Amino acid sequence: MQRRPTKPLEPGEAREKALGLLARREHGQRELKQKLTARGASRELAEATVELMAERGYQSDERYAERLVAHRAQQGYGPNWIRAELGQAGVARDEVARVMDELDIDWADRARDLLARKGLADAADAATRLKARRTLAQRGFTGEHARAAQRSPDED
């Protein structure tokens, strides 16, 4: 259950809260605004504070997207999942596309890694291959990535 703030935040307090949140990890603008309003800032103060943080370079949707893409890819999530997560976080589509292109991740390789971790890499029977594809689809990989991940190195 979330605590309700006892009193509204002043501008200086809102800046301190924002800096404290950003010191722990990157936040998207939408997420940072939500956290500030949950801690007692008015919507206007939260927007002004996040704008100030962005102007000073403390907050950046670009950095947030880069870190989230790299982290989620490492965790075994595919590009469709990551795009959806960034879209929900309020990051612009063109920014998401640019970041995903710049990081140049081999999604088929990430899919292979995920299948290996799940014990589905050497799927010999049809049922196990289907389970592997379903697992990849649920994690946001495309059919192309799934086919590439299930191909043996001799087929490449």
What does DSSP assign to residue 156?
-
Domain borders along the chain are 11-55, 61-103, 107-155
Q: Is 87 within 8 Å of 96 (Cβ atoms)?
A: yes
Q: Is 54 within 8 Å of 60 (Cβ atoms)?
A: yes
What residues contact residue 41 under an 8 Å CB cut-off, 6+ apart? 8, 9, 14, 17, 49
pLDDT over 60 (residue 86): yes
Average pLDDT, stretch 2-12? 75
Q: 84-116 burial, b for 16+ CB within 10 Å, e for fewer?
A: ebbeebebeeeebeebbeeeebebbebbbbbbe
CATH for the stretch 11-55 = 1.10.10.10
CB-based contacts of 43-48 (< 8 A; 24+ apart in sequence):
45/9, 45/11, 45/14, 46/14, 48/11
Instruction: Compare 153 and 46 and report the one with higher pLDDT.
Output: 46
- Is there a common fold for 11-55 and 61-103? yes
Q: Count of CB atoms within 10 A of residue 57's CB?
A: 8
Average pLDDT, stretch 49-54? 97
How confident is the prediction for the chain on average, in pLDDT?
A: 91
pLDDT over 90 (residue 61): yes
pLDDT recorded at residue 44:
96
State whether the Cα torsion 118-66-13-2 is positive or negative. Answer: negative
Among 3.40.50.970, 3.10.50.40, 1.10.10.10, 1.20.1050.10, name the CATH number for the domain at 61-103: 1.10.10.10
pLDDT recorded at residue 151:
81
Average pLDDT, stretch 103-129? 91
- pTM value is 0.83
Determine the Cα angle at 102 with ends 96 and 103, to 5°: 90
